[in-house]
Amino acid sequence: MATTGTNRLLDIEAIKQLKAEYCRFVDTKQWDRLFALFAEETVFEGFGSAPTGSTARDFIKGISHRMKGAVTIHHVCNPEIAFLGPDRARGIWAMTDLVELAPGMRPKEAPNSRGFRGYGHYQEEYRRDGRRWKFCFLRLTRLRLDPLPDDFPPMRHDLLAADPNWLDTATA
């Protein structure tokens, strides 16, 4: 694909869609779909669910175990995307997350709490895999981490759940 003009804008949009799927699949606990977003060689740094240097398989194993019974909310914005070539790119995203673990679980990031609200940045690298962009490196950096105290309002379980297949039936 060309590295300028309309095709470059389409690549940027595809990378934005990739990141949106990442956040949604984490928050809705769609682990198989999340795993499909990663290139085989993907490496992770700075994530509480897997040690630095982890593979995608290690990351999915760690996050699926850690987030069982948890409520997470991931918001990203202000993407900065730079291309390293026609099939490789890097991005930085401002992020905020809320992680409320299941009762009795304590996050290692805030051990005397039941969760945290975090702020920081994702630093990522992407590569084109056929016609689709995939992650090949993810780093999570934190600027601030606010513990959720034990008296933080409890989770509500009477809310309408997301339909994980909502977009699968959309047609052009």
Per-residue pLDDT at 88: 98
pLDDT band of residue 142 (cuts 50, 70, 90) is very high
In a domain, 101, yes or no: yes
Q: How many domains does the chain have?
A: 1
Please tell me which residue, 58 or 157, carries the higher pLDDT value: 58
Q: Is residue 75 part of a domain?
A: yes
> Is residue 10 in a domain?
yes
* pLDDT tens-digit readout, 60-87: 999 999 999 899 999 999 999 999 999 9
| Domain annotation covers residue 156 | no
Q: Is the pLDDT of residue 3 over 70?
A: no
The CATH number assigned to the domain holding 125 equals: 3.10.450.50
How do residues 8-27 score in pLDDT, each as one tens digit?
Answer: 999 999 999 999 999 999 99
Overall pTM > 0.85: yes
* Residue in the block written with tokens 């290139």: 39
- Please check whether residue 32 lies inside any domain of the structure: yes
What residues form DSSP beta bridges with 44?
54, 138
% of the chain residues with pLDDT over 90: 71
Domain membership of residue 49 (yes or no) is yes
Reported as a single tens digit per residue, the pLDDT across 30-55 is 999 999 999 999 999 999 888 999 99
The per-residue DSSP string of the chain comes to --SSHHHHHHHHHHHHHHHHHHHHHHHTT-HHHHHTTEEEEEEEES-TTS-TTB-HHHHHHHHHHHTTT-EEEEEEEEEEEEEEETTEEEEEEEEEEEEEPPTT---TTSTTSSEEEEEEEEEEEEEEETTEEEEEEEEEEEEEEEE--TTSPPPPS-SPPP-TTTTTT---
In a domain, 165, yes or no: no
Q: Whole domain around residue 107: which residue ranges?
A: 5-147
pLDDT reading at 2 higher than 50: no
The answer to whether residue 88 is domain-embedded is yes
